[in-house]
Amino acid sequence: MNEHLFIIAKISPKAEFFMQAKQAILSIVANTLEEDGCLKFAVHEDGKHLFLYEEWRSQEGLDKHYAMPYITPIFEAYQEWLKEPVEINKLERLA
């Protein structure tokens, strides 16, 4: 049984903030991948939304990620940038 935490997050920026949000998220990829609890952190887009595919060793690793100093400014900017809250889907691998 795989105890890892799998997440797909859908981020919906307002059109005028799309590029800022995209650049902000892309700027944290390298640091995030170096975090001890992170196994995968990939950014995708469909032109209107940003999607994060993440794999973490545990919830504890994800919680530590959220507390990182490079994450806080992005979460604060989300209050202005986003048209709706981030949709976070926690997944369980079946096979």
Whole-number pLDDT of residue 93: 84
> Does pLDDT of 79 surpass 60?
yes
63-76, pLDDT tens digit by residue?
A: 999 999 999 999 99
| pLDDT confidence bin for 81, thresholds 50/70/90 | very high
Q: Of 25, 26, 36, which is closest to residue 86 (Cα–Cα)?
A: 25
Q: What is the pTM of this model?
A: 0.91
CA within 13 Å, CB half, 17: 16
Whole-number pLDDT of residue 95: 74
10-54, pLDDT tens digit by residue?
A: 999 999 999 999 999 999 999 999 999 999 999 999 999 999 999
Query: Residue with structure tokens 């976070």?
Result: 88
Q: Of 62, 55, 66, 81, which is closest to residue 2 (Cα–Cα)?
A: 55
Tokens standing for residue 28: 């944290």
